[in-house]
């Protein structure tokens, strides 16, 4: 199972537990609604933060791969040039 699915499941479980706890608490409806609203905002903020971290890590990995591919391309061009140069200078 991927870590993203585990994280999403953990966050959903946390939200469900918090919601259940708030709904079962003996408070006025207005206080409960305020708590639910606050918990919802916290949950959205948490998910957004985790998503942004995930996107940043993927972007970094893509950048690393791009740099490696670019480096390999340059190395291939240099080797190709050396091979052509050796072919011209080799008596035949």
Q: Are the C-beta atoms of residues 8 and 29 closer than 8 Å to each other?
A: no
- pLDDT tens digits, one per residue of 4-56: 788 888 888 888 888 787 777 777 878 878 887 888 899 889 889 988 999 99
- Pick the closest to residue 42 from 20, 18, 7, 8 (CA basis): 18
Domain parsing of the chain, residue ranges: 3-87
Sequence length of the chain is 92
Q: Is the pTM of this model over 0.75?
A: no
């Amino acid at each position: 199972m991927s870590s993203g699915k585990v994280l999403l499941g953990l966050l959903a479980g946390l939200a469900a537990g918090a919601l259940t706890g708030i709904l079962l608490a003996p408070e006025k409806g207005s206080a409960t609604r305020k708590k639910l609203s606050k918990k919802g905002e916290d949950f959205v903020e948490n998910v957004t933060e985790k998503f942004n971290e995930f996107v940043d890590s993927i972007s970094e990995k893509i950048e690393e791969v791009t740099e490696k591919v670019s480096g390999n391309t340059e190395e291939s061009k240099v080797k190709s040039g050396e091979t052509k140069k050796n072919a011209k200078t080799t008596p035949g």
